Structure 1
């Protein structure tokens, strides 16, 4: 839902419908959005946002004794553009595979290569490490499943799940090397080395004992008071959620409906609306195998799923090889050699695996208001370039 131009309007209309039904603020009902993974919602709770609130900046000023920047930062799309224009010169990634996850792969690659410095704090190697700035660093770090031993003993971190519950997470595996540092330790040591006497924060003390970090969070972030005590409860603690309790922080004290305009997508002749999808054995850009058993596809990822009628109408056949092209603002983007597989998908639509077709997602095509790339609403055309041989065809639909 989020990866369309009308994404925000669509979500607000879903909310309107649930409000009309009385499905907000009572047990067993609600929107229940999947707000992300890899602790991304916890990141937002900690203030990792390009539009910081006045409440957060005021608390940071009070607790840490410095004036935080108040100007808006860059979201993902704006960050890529800033690097491409050489306005942003340093890219520092705490995990992730930015190049493969981002839209418009070739544009993003050039943006990264324009940087003076690119740094990746990573648990394993990935494609982004190969496309980098003038100077590039890879800082290996512990994973969340690894034991994290610091000066005061083994540490734990906290995560926030999609339901707004904060819980502790403690690793059990032996690290691959005694020299590997945790993400918090890397950040603390970098800050200590760079800032030296310019900061009143005892960075190395924070690295020695993560409770000290949580004490500062408790002072800085609303809803995390007494964090160290609450997170040690068996099931952690639940963050405040007003609508869940039928409490609405509005001028009227009631839920507010929204009025939304939705811009239709009009396809021309021989155009299709492409969505990018993940396979069963895939987590984001990490592909664990070639076994998409729910869709009955095996041993291949350069696939384009099409409605059977669309295949016939285009004069194509299953297992034909096609190139995919998208056109946006006068720019053509191309992804070569994809195999047609007939699938029960609505006519006029096609589906391809992510991230293989991210190169077709235009950097300037994103959702209104949220600026999320439109990875599930890309207009494409197909052109036949060949035919898959019989032996290879059999492997696609056979788990061998």
Structure 2
């Protein structure tokens, strides 16, 4: 194993290092030659959609339309490695639990349906028919349908997700804990309150027209690297790019485009951000309020001097409500409090305000640094306030741009994966399929875990994902999952979620995005929705990793038929024989998909209409609504003098819980992950040395001790009072109670902790 080391990384993001990392990823998975051909079909009109992030494809694609991390995501699915029954027979589950997450996935693609055998503590092969029958028997023995949880990962297609929600609702529950609950649920809750839609309002071409782009709590170089191309283009044509983040992310400093021969051959790069503002962890709300306070003050000065107003007063008067209350709050909020909470100076924020006001059109981009807080929904509304001040919604080159994570997390929600279904949706479901769906609200992730802990849930079915690792309060959450009667996971590869299992457990292996999906009606295409509401088809070309694999859609339909029989009489086999029939059903239930099958046959797909983009506001008032954000703290203030605010984050060589290596080259961390980043002033205050091993302990308010040991102290340029560690290693420190009450999203990005020295050998 390579030696672990900390070494400053001084090269730009992207560039030759990115190409080298891509080649290494293909080689380590045994697809150095075949993988190249597969990559050339990824994100192309007649190819398959990247299984990584949800960044949209340009209308005119280049010869290769993939990034380093997208290539790794593909390589991890197209690997030649196989996790066969013979491989799994070598290890007990107890042995596998001692492995790290990287080594688990490196066993390769799952090839057979597997059933947990308690006598041998191993997963053993089982036929599809027996697996379905056994699962049906256990689910049929539940006292209530609400004793089952139906979890979805954002990698599931629209077709699979629609059938999954249909299955669960026909079974009798609205329990849909979903990966979006853990990331962008505040977007789905907050934007409808402000704008009447739960999605962003920009298209990719708006980046070509924006005069300013403000980025809050988003690291595109790692989480959505293809976003770097429009950012690079915007920077080169002179658009102002302002970045707000506790870390100075390398891609937001400099980027070398692997698709640009001049930059690659000349070893030059493009500066991306005009300014980088290192906000405190949890300081984005204060920073946004500071920018708005400065904007309103400048507008007040212009009005008093009888000069041209700097706010879009015509838009505010004609399209919004609540401005006066917002302005009053801004005027009353003192600058010293804003500076203290944000970690930025008044001069910084007034400068950002002037840049914003000079821009004719501005895009406001945000990621999980904004949403994963105790006030995540309010944060989203606060950022929307800033857009509304200048009328930056519903016109070219402007808008709100939430950067979603997994490739179809947004599409899952659009086709019905929600624990809070509307009456209109349920009525249409009843009309199309002839059964009465449950009307009561179900469980999101936090409520599902709480119900497991209380013993009110007995079964857990997962359409993809690695739920047991991704959840907050990991130790206590996993203890609750082990007490379940049944866990079922539909997966491509082994992960820790399969090792944290119920008394009965099944692994159902599925096809990947890049593989041919042949059903009774012939080869099939699935569809996905990207983060800008573009829906397009995806069709794999690679042969399946095993003849025993089934598509996600076929597995869901098989489970539904086994569990439900003919009551209600839903034609599961007919639906899966030809996915056009599933899309026809989606169109019947969701009129927004009108002409679904015809429209996905047009290269590039189609856009799901956004009313807010047309300046039609589906809010109770019929207008876009400003919202007052009380105070400045995104998370409850901690008076403990030892407290540091911990933010969890991904490494560059990681996507969600999947690790491509143990390195994070942009932050200079190699062959290790148990590190905690702290600035030198905070280290001196605590008497810590670089390389010293420490434990992090949550400052909990429920009497439960949460601590994780073994972190190496790494000096890093961060604001005072802050520290950072990798997800999911730090997830046990995130209390289940620390979540946004409106959206249920856990506060992964702000955990109050103390740093403790570890005793020798401890």
* Band the TM-score falls in, shorter-chain normalisation: over 0.9
Relative to structure 1, the CA distance from residue 306 to residue 267 in structure 2 (aligned partners, 3 Å threshold; closer, same or farther) is farther
Match of 2:722 in 1: 349
Deviation for aligned residue 1:108? 1.0
Q: Does 1:168 align with 2:540?
A: no
Where does 1:169-188 land on structure 2 (aligned, <5 Å)?
169-188=538-557
Match of 1:142 in 2: 511
SS of corresponding position for 1:233: coil
Q: Could you tell me how far apart the structure 2 residues matched to 1:256 and 1:263 are? A: 20
Q: Could you tell me how far apart the structure 1 residues matched to 2:600 and 2:694 are? A: 53
SS of corresponding position for 1:138: strand
Where does 1:15-94 land on structure 2 (aligned, <5 Å)?
15-94=384-463
Match of 1:124 in 2: 493
Q: Could you tell me how far apart the structure 2 residues matched to 1:374 and 1:253 are? A: 32
Match of 2:642 in 1: 270
* 8 Å contact kept, 1:9–1:261: no
Q: Does 1:105 align with 2:478?
A: no
Q: Could you tell me how far apart the structure 2 residues matched to 1:193 and 1:47 are? A: 22
In the TM superposition, what whole-angstrom CA distance separates every residue of 1:260-294 from its partner, at most 9, and x where no partner exists? 22463234111101000000010000010123111
Q: Does 1:205 align with 2:587?
A: no
Deviation for aligned residue 1:35? 2.9
Larger Rg: 2
Q: Could you tell me how far apart the structure 1 residues matched to 2:631 and 2:558 are? A: 49
In the TM superposition, what whole-angstrom CA distance separates every residue of 1:181-200 from its partner, at most 9, and x where no partner exists? 00100111122222223232
More strand as a share of residues? 1
Q: Could you tell me how far apart the structure 2 residues matched to 1:271 and 1:251 are? A: 42
Q: Could you tell me how far apart the structure 1 residues matched to 2:622 and 2:674 are? A: 52
* 8 Å contact kept, 1:319–1:387: no
SS of corresponding position for 1:223: helix
Q: Does 1:337 align with 2:710?
A: yes
Q: Could you tell me how far apart the structure 2 residues matched to 1:295 and 1:170 are? A: 36
**Stretch moving more, 1-10 or 157-166:** 1-10
Q: Could you tell me how far apart the structure 1 residues matched to 2:690 and 2:735 are? A: 28
Q: Does 1:234 align with 2:599?
A: no
> TM-score of the superposition, structure 1-length normalised?
0.94
More helix as a share of residues? 2
SS of corresponding position for 1:197: coil
- Please, which runs of 5 or more residues in structure 1 have no aligned partner? 389-400
Q: Could you tell me how far apart the structure 1 residues matched to 2:557 and 2:657 are? A: 28
* 8 Å contact kept, 1:8–1:369: yes
Match of 1:152 in 2: 521
SS of corresponding position for 2:714: strand
* Relative contact order, higher structure (CA 8 A, sep 6+): 2
* 8 Å contact kept, 2:425–2:589: yes
SS of corresponding position for 1:331: coil
* 8 Å contact kept, 2:697–2:705: yes
In the TM superposition, what whole-angstrom CA distance separates every residue of 1:301-329 from its partner, at most 9, and x where no partner exists? 00000011000110111111101111322
Relative to structure 1, the CA distance from residue 36 to residue 90 in structure 2 (aligned partners, 3 Å threshold; closer, same or farther) is same
Q: Could you tell me how far apart the structure 2 residues matched to 1:187 and 1:250 are? A: 36
CA RMSD of superposed structures (Å): 1.4
SS of corresponding position for 1:106: helix
Deviation for aligned residue 1:157? 0.6
* 8 Å contact kept, 2:638–2:752: no
Q: Could you tell me how far apart the structure 2 residues matched to 1:55 and 1:35 are? A: 26
In the TM superposition, what whole-angstrom CA distance separates every residue of 1:244-270 from its partner, at most 9, and x where no partner exists? 122212355421111222463234111
Q: Could you tell me how far apart the structure 2 residues matched to 1:11 and 1:251 are? A: 18
Q: Which of 290, 308, 326 is equivalent to 2:698?
A: 326
SS of corresponding position for 2:758: strand
* 8 Å contact kept, 1:80–1:111: yes
Q: Could you tell me how far apart the structure 2 residues matched to 1:14 and 1:263 are? A: 13
> TM-score of the superposition, structure 2-length normalised?
0.50
Match of 1:311 in 2: 683
SS of corresponding position for 1:345: coil
* 8 Å contact kept, 1:7–1:368: no
Q: Could you tell me how far apart the structure 2 residues matched to 1:364 and 1:182 are? A: 37
Q: Could you tell me how far apart the structure 2 residues matched to 1:283 and 1:259 are? A: 35
Q: Could you tell me how far apart the structure 2 residues matched to 1:72 and 1:369 are? A: 14
Relative to structure 1, the CA distance from residue 111 to residue 248 in structure 2 (aligned partners, 3 Å threshold; closer, same or farther) is same
* 8 Å contact kept, 1:272–1:381: yes
Q: Could you tell me how far apart the structure 1 residues matched to 2:442 and 2:575 are? A: 26
Match of 1:189 in 2: 558
